[in-house]
Amino acid sequence: MILVIDVGNTNIVLGIYEDKKLLEFWRIGTEIHKTSDEYGMMINQLFSFSNYKLSCISQVVISSVVPTAMYTLEHMARKYFKSEPLVIGPGVKTGINIKYDNPKEVGADRIVNAVAAYELYGGPLVIVDFGTATTYCAVSKNGEYLGGAISPGIQISMDALFQKTAKLPKVELVKPETMICKNTVSSMQAGIIFGYVGQVDYIVERMKKELGDENTKVVATGGLAKLIATESKTISIVNGLLTLEGLRIIYERNRE
């Protein structure tokens, strides 16, 4: 069994795979001040709650866009899993050709998503990851990572409205009934959520045009994917576990 760990700016998602089967997964908050022992103990508790032993794990695989948390987790893997972790980065075989100006600059999560989506659905593809930031990634028919776009995440956008104004409250991300709203809370919800749907559909349409293929598949993932996917005209597939799948696939490609 392997333990895959996806470190985002808001959450760390952990999953246990036995071959291709995801047996269990958990989501914990990303805290850059947590120590390797604190993460080790937390993971130990999650494991024992689900009746797994740390010693069942033969390899830990980590993808991170938060460098400080990554070093802590690498140390945690060595100490608690006696495993030299496979960390997604330069030198790791992903099977994907990265066409960014500087391939080292692309967030590891974006590459891992691209690997999974291409393997599962084939290209050409647009992948939209609704995390702390929202990332859009284009993958060609032949599986090249072409690049994409990055925009402020949905929660970040909502937080900014609250933090930068005197009278706007902190509001839950829930879809309102109508577009024309008659109170502050639903006006904010409508502006953020429906505005976001418009952003997604516009960016995806433009990417499809640049890809030059009307049959481009559009896959959404990330904590807030469902909220937008139900309203969006362009998103056809939602797979909340895309990053974990990608980590499993990359592990297999580096096993030989």
Residues with active-site annotation: 109
Structure tokens at 53: 């032993």
Site string for K ion, 97-136 (x = CB under 5 A): ------------x---------------------x-----
φ, ψ dihedrals at 248, nearest 5°: -65, -45
Minimum distance from residue 109 beta carbon to K ion (Å): 4
Interface pick for ligand PAZ out of 34, 110, 208, 217 (rule CB under 6 A) = 110
Of 15, 131, 143, 148, the residue at the interface with ligand ADP (CB under 6 A) is 131
CB of 57 to ligand PAZ, least distance (A): 24
> Which of 63, 72, 94, 132 is in the footprint of ligand ADP by CB under 6 A?
132
Residue 164 is classified by DSSP as T
Omega before 124 cis (within 30°)?
Answer: yes
Tokens standing for 169? 């409250």
> How many CB atoms sit inside 10 A of residue 84's CB?
11
Q: Scanning residues 7 to 26, which ones bind ligand PAZ (CB under 6 A)?
A: 8-9
Count of CB atoms situated within 10 Å of the CB of 44 = 14
7 with 69: CB under 8 angstroms?
yes
CA atoms of 205 and 233, how far apart (whole Å)? 10
- Tally of CB atoms within 10 A around 180: 8
Q: Is 9 assigned to a binding site?
A: yes
Instruction: Give how many residues touch K ion by CB under 5 A.
Output: 3
4-23 residues in contact with ligand ADP (CB under 6 A) are 8-11
Regarding 256 and contact with ligand PAZ (CB under 6 A), the answer is no
Which residues contact ligand PAZ (rule: CB under 6 A)?
A: 8-9, 65, 105-107, 109-110, 129, 131-133, 135, 150
What residues are designated binding site for ATP?
6-13, 132
